[in-house]
């Protein structure tokens, strides 16, 4: 599968002159796309409904999100819906949907378009994932999903790894990609690049 936004990937930025270390945090959308694709601009669709991409963090699609019995068998305690809404490209669940299951729900009304500012949800998503993992003395499990588990939800998990585990964007994206086939749109990748630069400037990323 070829991801059409790949053709409009932003060119690599020029390194910042003089400032020590700043250029190390400048990553282009094109560089991230190269990590996601097979080198020829082709991307793989997810081979399973969900994958555990980090201990107790699952990224998946709507099919599993709407199957309470399966979620309980997995031991999921928290749901983060990155595509809340009732259109075809959204998943129409809510706290009421999981009533009686014991699952704690949080929804975000995000669109999978290049112009949507998903970065506005990065901190909110990271906070919810943190709370989920700390649940019941660190035994919580969180299922982060959108419609396909391909763009919105993996972007939020990558941002979480950057914000809470001090991973740079390449490391965080590669870690998730090793576990699941993903393809965030170029707008989301650009927002992750911007987050990487900000965290790098603030000294909040692990130095290699």
Q: Cα–Cα distance between 142 and 50 in angstroms, integer?
A: 12
Q: Cα–Cα distance between 65 and 104 in angstroms, integer?
A: 12
Question: Any idea which residue has 């993903």 for tokens?
Answer: 182
Phi and psi at 50, nearest 5°, equal -155, 160
Helix or strand run (H / E) with residue 79: strand 78-81
**Annotated active-site residue in 146, 156, 158, 167:** 146
The question of whether 146 is a catalytic residue gets the answer: yes
Direct distance between the N- and C-terminal alpha carbons of the chain, in angstroms, rounded to an integer = 34
The answer to whether the CB of 140 falls within 8 A of the CB of 133 is yes
Q: Cα–Cα distance between 93 and 86 in angstroms, integer?
A: 9
Give catalytic residue positions.
146
């Amino acid at each position: 599968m070829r991801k059409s936004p790949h053709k409009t990937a932003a060119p690599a930025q020029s390194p910042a002159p003089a400032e020590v270390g700043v250029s190390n945090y400048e990553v282009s959308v094109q560089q991230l796309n190269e990590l996601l694709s097979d080198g020829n601009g082709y991307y793989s669709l997810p081979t399973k409904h969900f994958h555990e991409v980090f201990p107790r963090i699952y990224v998946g699609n709507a099919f599993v999100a709407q199957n309470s019995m399966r979620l309980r068998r997995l031991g999921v305690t928290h749901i983060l819906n990155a595509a809340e809404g009732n259109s075809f490209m959204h998943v129409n669940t809510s706290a009421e949907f999981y009533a009686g299951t014991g699952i704690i729900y949080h929804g975000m009304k995000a669109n999978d378009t290049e112009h949507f500012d998903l970065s506005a949800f990065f901190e909110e998503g990271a906070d919810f994932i943190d709370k989920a993992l700390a649940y019941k003395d660190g035994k919580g499990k969180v299922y982060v999903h959108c419609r396909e588990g391909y763009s919105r939800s993996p972007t939020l998990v990558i941002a979480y790894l950057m914000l809470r585990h001090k991973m740079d964007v390449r490391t965080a994206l590669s870690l998730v990609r090793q576990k699941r086939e993903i393809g965030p749109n170029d707008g989301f990748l650009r927002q992750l690049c911007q987050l990487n630069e900000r965290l790098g400037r603030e000294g909040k990323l692990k130095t290699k």
